[in-house]
Structure 1
Amino acid sequence: MNPISMNFIHLRTPWVITWWSASYLGYAYMILGSYVKGFILIFLEAFINVNSNLNLGILYSFTGRFEMAKQVVDVNWLLFYVPIYIYSIWGGYGLTVDLNKYSILADRENSSMIPFKISSWEIAFLDKRKPWMAMALSLLAPGLGHLYTHRVPASFYTLTWWSFIAYKGNLFPCIHLTAIGDFAGATMVADPLWLIFLPSIYVFSIYDAYVNTVEYNRLFEQEQKRFLIDNYQSANFPVPE
C-alpha cells in the first residue's frame, strides 16, 4: 500500500482470469494488479483491432453479412493479433496460478499490515467500503469505481481510455439523439468500430471494482482482528482456528 494505490493479492479462479484475457487483451493483468503489462496489452488491443477492422468484422458476422466481414478485415493486422492474443491468455492463467500460491502462503504467515499511508501527494488507508457503490460508480463512468477503492493507476487509465473511445465512437451524440427520439440520426453518427469496445470496458470496470471492494473489506477485517488480538486480547485466550 502506498499513497497512490493499494495493490494486493487474493485467491482467484484461473479460468475467470482466462476468460477476461480472451474478452479483452490486458484485462487479466489489470485484475491481477500487474498494471504495466495490462496497459501495454490494452493499447495493443485497440491499435491492432482498429487497424484490422476486427470489430466491424465481428459486427457484420453477427448480423449475417459474412461477405462484408471478409472484405473489411485486414488479414495482415489480424494475423498479427493472434500471437499476442495467445500470450495474453497463457500469461494471465499462469500468473493467476502463481499468485494464488503466494496468497495461500501470505494467509498462513499472517504478517502485520500498516493500514495507513500518508505523503505530500495523497492519503491512503484501509476502511470499510460498499460494493454496490463501486458498481454504481463504474456504471456511471468506468474508472470511478476503481477510484473509490483507491486504485488510482487503474482508475486513471480506464477513465481516460473510456473517454477516448466514447469520443471516437460518438457515444454522447448517440445518447443525445436517442433521448430526443432521433433513432435514425443516432444510427448514422455511431461508429461501431469504436463503440463495440464499450461493453467490455463497462463489464470489466463493474466486475473488477466490485471484487476489489469485497476483498478490501476482507483485508480490513483481517487487519482489525490482528490489531485487537495484539493489543486487547489476553494472551491466554484460545483463538479458534
Structure 2
Amino acid sequence: MAAVRRFDIIYAQRRNPFMVAWWSASFPGFGHLLMYKNTTGVLLTLSEVIINSLAKINLAMVYSFSGNFAMAKQVLHPNWLFGYMFIYFFAIWDSYRCSIEANKHYELAMLENGRIPVHLMRSTGIQFLEKKRPLIAAYCSFLFPGLGQLYNKHIWLGFYGIFWWWIYLTFSHFYEALMALILGHNRMVISILNPQWLMFMPSVLGGAMYHSYTSSIEQNRLFRITQRQHLTDYYEKARIASMNGTETNSPLWMIGTFEHCTELEQALSMLEHSGIHPARIRPVLMDVHADKSLSIVDQRFDRTAKSVEIGFASATACSVFGISLGFILEWGPIIWGLIYGFGGFLLGFGIGLLIKSKHSLPHQKHKLPEVTVLVQYLNEEEAELIHETFWRYKAITVGRIDRQHANPAL
C-alpha cells in the first residue's frame, strides 16, 4: 500500500504504537506525521508551538528541571495550560490508536501483494522509488531538520521542517550563542539563549532524524517488493511465451547473485539489448530467512535499526534534561545538551541491543544474495558477455554451469 505523488512518496508502514505515542509526547503531531497523517500532524504541531509559547510551558520545564519550582509556577499561564493538556494527551492517545489500526491495514496490504507504482513524471518533476542510505538520511536531518525528508523525497514535509527550524534558530538565538561559545565567551551563552524556544529544538531534531532514518529503511523495503514483483511478472510471462518454441534446450548457464538494486535491472536490460531473449533469463528470488516475511528487510540495518530508533528517542529526552541543567551549570545549555543527548543515545542504543525481536534477522558477517539470476548461453562469446555484464552491474558472485557439469555422463 503505497503511492508516488508529485511532492511526496507515501506508504503504509508497520510502527511500534508505543514509539509513535512517545514521539507524540515529545512533540504533539510528530506521531501523526510518522504515519503520514500529514494534515492532522501539521495542525497539531502548529497548536503545540502556539499554545506552548503562550502558556510558557518550555520555560517552566527549564525552571522545574533545574530545581527552581517557585519560578516555574510564576511563569506558567493556567488559562492556556489546561487547554494545552487536553490537546497534548489527545495527540498521544490518537496517534497510539491510529498506529494500531494502521498496522492492521499494513498486514492486509502485504497479504494482498498489490502492485505498487514506482514512477511519476509531471511538469513539476520526476518522482521514483530508489534505495536509500538510512544513516545518510539521519545525518542530513542532524545537520538541518528537513534535509533528511528532502533526501527521502518528502518535499512538503521537508520544507515545512526547514521553515520551522529557521524559526527556532531565530527566536532561540542559537547560532549567536554558538558563536559566543566558539569564541570562548561561555558566560554570555546563557544570557543570549531564549529557553522557551530552545526547548523545542531537541524534540524537533530527534524527531526529524528518527523520521528520516525509518523512512529510508521503509523505502528500501518498498524497493525490494516492487523489484520482486517486476521480476516475477515480466520473466514469468517470457517463460510462458517460450513454451511455444522460443525456448532453447541448451544446458549451459551463467549464474549471478545480486542484492536488490537498480543495477540488477540494468544488467538484465543490457543482456536483452545484446540479443538474449527474456525467456533465457531466470531470476530466482532468494529467502534470507526461514520466515519469508523477513526476506524483504534491509540486511545491513535490520539488526540495529530498532536500537537506533530507541537511541534517538532516548537522546531527545536526555538532551531536554541536559539543556535545562545547563542553565545552572558552568558549561552552559549547549554543551550539556550535547553531552546528555549523546549519552542518552548510547543508553537507548544499548537497551535496544538487549531487546530481542521476533521480526529481526540473525547476525550475518556478510550480506547475502537476494536474487540469483540464471542466463542460458549458446556459445563462449555470449558467456563472456554475460560474465562481464554481471560484474559491471555489481553482482555479488558470478559462476557458470557448462556442458560438462550439466551432463556428468559426458
TM-score by length of 2: 0.57
Q: Find the counterpart in structure 2 of residue 232 from structure 1.
A: 235
Alignment of 1:1-150 (within 5 A): 1-150=4-153
Instruction: Report which structure shows greater RCO (CA 8 Å, sep ≥6).
Output: 1
Q: How big is each residue's C-alpha offset from its partner over 1:1-54, in whole Å with a ceiling of 9 and x where there is no partner?
A: 112100111111111101111111100111110111111100110111111111
Q: How big is each residue's C-alpha offset from its partner over 1:164-221, in whole Å with a ceiling of 9 and x where there is no partner?
A: 0110000110111111111112221100010010000010010110000000000000
| DSSP 3-state at the match of 1:176 | helix
- Select the residue among 162, 165, 169 that pairs with 2:172: 169
Q: Find the counterpart in structure 2 of residue 205 from structure 1.
A: 208
Distance 2:47 2:141 in 1: 23
Structure with greater strand percent: 2
In structure 2, stretches of 5+ residues that fail to align are 244-281, 293-410
Distance 2:135 2:26 in 1: 24
Distance 2:89 2:206 in 1: 22
Equivalent AA in structure 1 for residue 207 of structure 2: F
Distance 1:137 1:48 in 2: 29
1:2 touches 1:124 (CA, 8 Å); kept in 2?
A: yes
Q: Find the counterpart in structure 1 of residue 272 from structure 2.
A: none
Distance 2:119 2:165 in 1: 31
| CA displacement at 1:123 relative to structure 2 | 1.0
Distance 1:29 1:191 in 2: 28
In structure 1, stretches of 5+ residues that fail to align are none
- Select the residue among 153, 158, 180 that pairs with 2:156: 153
| DSSP 3-state at the match of 2:221 | helix
| DSSP 3-state at the match of 1:11 | coil
- Select the residue among 183, 194, 199 that pairs with 2:197: 194
TM-score by length of 1: 0.96
| CA displacement at 1:104 relative to structure 2 | 0.5
Identity, in percent, stands at 32
Structure with greater helix percent: 1
Q: How big is each residue's C-alpha offset from its partner over 1:139-174, in whole Å with a ceiling of 9 and x where there is no partner?
A: 110000000000112111111111101100001101
Larger radius of gyration: 2
1:52 touches 1:78 (CA, 8 Å); kept in 2?
A: yes
1:35 touches 1:153 (CA, 8 Å); kept in 2?
A: no
